[in-house]
Amino acid sequence: MNGLLMLLATSVLLAGCSVLGKREAAEPPYKVILEEGDCEIRQYGEMVVAETVVEGEYSRTSGTAFSRLAGYIFGKNRKKEKISMTAPVIQEPASEKLPMTAPVLQEKKGTAWVMAFVMPEGSTLASLPEPLDPLVTLRMVPGRKVAVIRYSGLHSESNLRSYSEKLTGWLEKKGRRVLSQPRAASYDPPWTIPFMRRNEVHIDIE
């Protein structure tokens, strides 16, 4: 119960939202290279993420991971600084190479999942305060080309799987080479009306 209350409290503080729960947090900048229906190819620049890994099923790891990362940006760091929230929140299968610099390109390891918050634009590893929680790490993510499919509704593992298949099918038709496992990206707090939610699946491509 305490974990649920903390998740709801942090969601309220992070949302900066309207009555309908739409988040107004900043997003990392990107350039749209190709757009076709709900699918896009984007070019993202270099960014820093704060991330954590939690063992367990997709639906049961989100609260723990979210609370850890929210704690970091709310001041659980060496400088006790508060850091602006950005969107989306990223969740993906963890891998054996998680500490390496290549972002979210690894294969699933058991039932572990990694969640990441993107740090505000202009952040660097040197400028950001060190996390007090040893389970929260900072990592520089190099610029990359990302295929994206948008959808509304529930943010679930089944939807991640379903829309990943649609996105990879679209990429095959376009002759694009896939470089990563799919990852989930959510933009809205959990109380947002499902049909108004903005969810995405991201896959790195060549």
CATH of 2-205, one of 3.40.50.300, 3.20.80.10, 3.90.79.10, 3.30.420.10: 3.20.80.10
pLDDT for 5: 39
Rounded to an integer, the average pLDDT of 151-172 is 92
Q: Residue ranges per domain, the chain?
A: 2-205
How confident is the model at residue 92, as a pLDDT?
Answer: 82
For the stretch 37-47, pLDDT in tens is 999 999 999 99
Residue 34 confidence class, pLDDT cut points 50, 70, 90: very high
Q: Is the pLDDT of residue 91 over 60?
A: yes
Least confident range from 102-111, 142-151, 159-168: namely: 102-111
Question: What average pLDDT does the structure give for the chain?
Answer: 81
Three-class SS of the chain: CHHHHHHHHHHHHHHCCCCCCCCCCECCCEEEEEEECCEEEEEECCEEEEEEEEECCHHHHHHHHHHHHHHHHCCCECCCCCCCCECCEEEEECCCCCCCCCCCCCCCCCCEEEEEEECCCCCCCCCCCCECCCCCEEEEECCEEEEEEEECCCCCHHHHHHHHHHHHHHHHHHCCCECCCCEEEECCCCCCCHHHCCEEEEEEEC
pLDDT at 17: 45
Using one digit for the tens of pLDDT, what is the confidence trace for 112-130? 888 898 888 899 999 999 9
Query: Residue 196 has what pLDDT?
Result: 84
Query: Is the pLDDT assigned to residue 50 strictly greater than 50?
Result: yes
